[in-house]
Amino acid sequence: MPNRPVALVLASLLALSACAPGPGGSGGGQDITVWLMKDSATDDFVSRFEAEFERDHPGLDLRVQVQEWNGITQKVTSALASTDPPDVIEVGNTQVAQYASSDGVTDLSGKVEELGGGDWIPGLAEPGAVGGKQFGIPFYAANRVVVYRKDLFAAAGVTPPKTRDEWLAATAKLDRGDTQGIYLPGQNWYVLSGFVWDEGGDLAVPDGDRWTGALNTPQGLAAADFYRRLQALGDGPKDSDEARPQQTDVVAAGQVAQFIAVPGAAKLVAEANPDLADRLGFFPVPGKTAATPGAVFTGGSDLIIPLASPRQDGAYAVVKALAGEKWQVELARAMNYVPNRTSLAGSVGDDPGAAAMAAGAVNGHATPNSPNWAAVEARNPIKEFLTAVLTGADPAAAAARADQVITQALDSGA
């Protein structure tokens, strides 16, 4: 999900770009091809960005091409191996390590300070850095919040909690009669990940050139126990995730006080049950203390520059613009996404869902930064671990089994 602040490119870079001949530009300039993903930006945003970028960079002709997410991994992999790839590619933040492992992505470490890297949201910046080098430049972010029924909270005499303890207490008061205090399916591993990070742990930790699963640790087990206590305050299934059944359909039935999702899920609930449209509110996932919101998985995108692009200066000009303040703010307001910088969190406007998301984004994280992480998700032993814990199995034994699968998957290419 996108957000982009703008900064103008240095005159020297512009001069270099303007002097370099390029194929097929309508104005005789150098063509710069940019791949953006579907639904990352509105058509209006793209049109305005193209027009203003070309106005400010008269030697460059921008060509923004929208790509489908389905099949994009193979398409990007092939592009990085070609001799004339697109010049800038938007990629999922957790995919940067996979693409960087091909040695086909430009190292932008020397540009981090110029791009405001000290202010980047960790959940975008960290997965963009591989082996101590910055290959991915944060583009936009989105994360989960708690979507709640304002009327049910008021009737129970509770307000949006700030801490985990307050959250458990409030949810217990809401879990009465036919009303579920919370709908939390048993295999929402993204939510568990946040609890693990809150405890100071991780899903896996690096061990030299290899990785080791880290659920069977005090931090991982404490996170699973909190998940168990919270999940018990509703009737969510213990052996399926948020898509089976669709949790928005469950909430739309009218007997759920809160659920955890990206803010856009509230619109789906309202579409299914218009009576709930004005009854839904948002708050960040509570943390262990009121001083810091709960940790959340940061979804979103980074921008990369293929190493084989002969138009490196022009490509960097695009990245600098999209990652700069002007276009980050523009995109935040157009798409209700979180900007790439913590200092821009207030730029999302008055949308309450986006505001809650931005507040939580300051404690955002990403999955372990391994090119083999996709192999973990394919099997997803974390879901199996959660179901085991929720159905009475020994947590440590279940965690050890999950860690073994995670370790094998992450080290399969080592």
Q: What pLDDT does residue 346 have?
A: 76
Over the stretch 255-305, which tens digit does the pLDDT of each residue have?
Answer: 999 999 999 999 999 999 999 999 999 999 999 999 999 999 999 999 999
Query: 3-class secondary structure for the chain?
Result: CCCCCCCCCCHHHHHHHHHCCCCCCCCCCEEEEEEEECCCCCHHHHHHHHHHHHHHCCCEEEEEEEECCCCHHHHHHHHHHCCCCCCEEEEEHHHHHHHHCCCCECCCHHHCCCCCHHHECHHHHHHHEECCEECCEEEEEECCEEEEEHHHHHHHCCCCCCEHHHHHHHHHHHCCCCCECCECCCCCHHHHHHHHHHCCCCCEEEECCEEEECCCCHHHHHHHHHHHHHHCCCCCCCCCCCECCEHHHHHHCCCECEEEECCCHHHHHHHHCHHHCCCEEEECCCECCCCCCCCEECEEEEEECECCCCCHHHHHHHHHHHCCHHHHHHHHHHHCCECCEHHHHHHHCCCHHHHHHHHHHCCEECCCCCCCHHHHHHHCHHHHHHHHHHCCCCHHHHHHHHHHHHHHHHCCCC
Region 338-357: mean pLDDT is: 87
Task: Give the contacts of 243 (CB within 8 A, at least 6 positions apart).
Answer: none
Q: What pLDDT does residue 350 have?
A: 79
Distance CA 73, CA 373 (A): 13
Task: Give the contacts of 311 (CB within 8 A, at least 6 positions apart).
Answer: 17, 20, 22, 30, 31, 32, 87
Residue 177: pLDDT above 80? yes
Residue 14: pLDDT above 70? no
Q: What pLDDT does residue 56 have?
A: 97
Q: What pLDDT does residue 26 have?
A: 42
Q: What pLDDT does residue 21 have?
A: 32
Q: What pLDDT does residue 209 have?
A: 86
Region 72-85: mean pLDDT is: 96
Q: Tokens for 332, please give them.
A: 């935040």
Over the stretch 355-375, which tens digit does the pLDDT of each residue have?
Answer: 999 999 999 999 999 999 989
Is residue 33 within 8 Å of residue 86, measured between CB atoms?
yes
Lowest mean pLDDT among 148-157, 345-354, 391-400: 345-354
Residue 27: pLDDT above 50? no
Q: What pLDDT does residue 28 have?
A: 55
Question: Identity (one letter) of the amino acid at 329?
Answer: V
Distance CA 365, CA 275 (A): 35
CB atoms within 10 A of CB 112: 17
Q: Tokens for 79, please give them.
A: 């592009």
Region 200-217: mean pLDDT is: 95
Alpha carbon 321 to chain centroid, angstroms: 21
Region 59-70: mean pLDDT is: 95
Q: What pLDDT does residue 77 have?
A: 96
Is residue 134 within 8 Å of residue 109, measured between CB atoms?
yes
Residue 308: pLDDT above 90? yes
Residue 32: pLDDT above 90? yes
Is residue 215 within 8 Å of residue 224, measured between CB atoms?
yes
**With pLDDT > 70 as the criterion, what percentage of the chain qualifies?**
93
Q: What is the largest CA-CA distance in the chain?
A: 72
**Using CA atoms in the order 386, 389, 393, 394, what is the torsion angle rounded to 10 degrees?**
110
Residue 23: pLDDT above 80? no
Q: What pLDDT does residue 413 have?
A: 60
pTM of the entire structure? 0.84
Residue 12: pLDDT above 60? no
Lowest mean pLDDT among 16-30, 104-118, 188-202, 218-232: 16-30
**With pLDDT > 90 as the criterion, what percentage of the chain qualifies?**
86
Q: What pLDDT does residue 125 have?
A: 94
Structural domains in the chain? 11-142+298-365 (3.40.190.10), 145-296+372-410 (3.40.190.10)
Residue 15: pLDDT above 60? no
Region 136-153: mean pLDDT is: 97
CB atoms within 10 A of CB 57: 23
Q: Tokens for 302, please give them.
A: 């980074």
Distance CA 253, CA 343 (A): 38
Distance CA 192, CA 338 (A): 22
Q: Give the chain's mean pLDDT.
A: 91
Region 30-52: mean pLDDT is: 96
CB atoms within 10 A of CB 386: 28
Lowest mean pLDDT among 133-137, 154-158, 343-347, 378-382: 343-347
Over the stretch 220-237, which tens digit does the pLDDT of each residue have?
Answer: 999 999 999 999 999 999
Q: Tokens for 208, please give them.
A: 């030299």
Residue 19: pLDDT above 60? no
If one compares 348 and 268, the residue with the highest pLDDT of the two is 268
Q: What pLDDT does residue 8 have?
A: 25
- Distances in Å between the Cα of 162 and the Cα atoms of 205, 211, 348, 364 are 29, 34, 21, 17
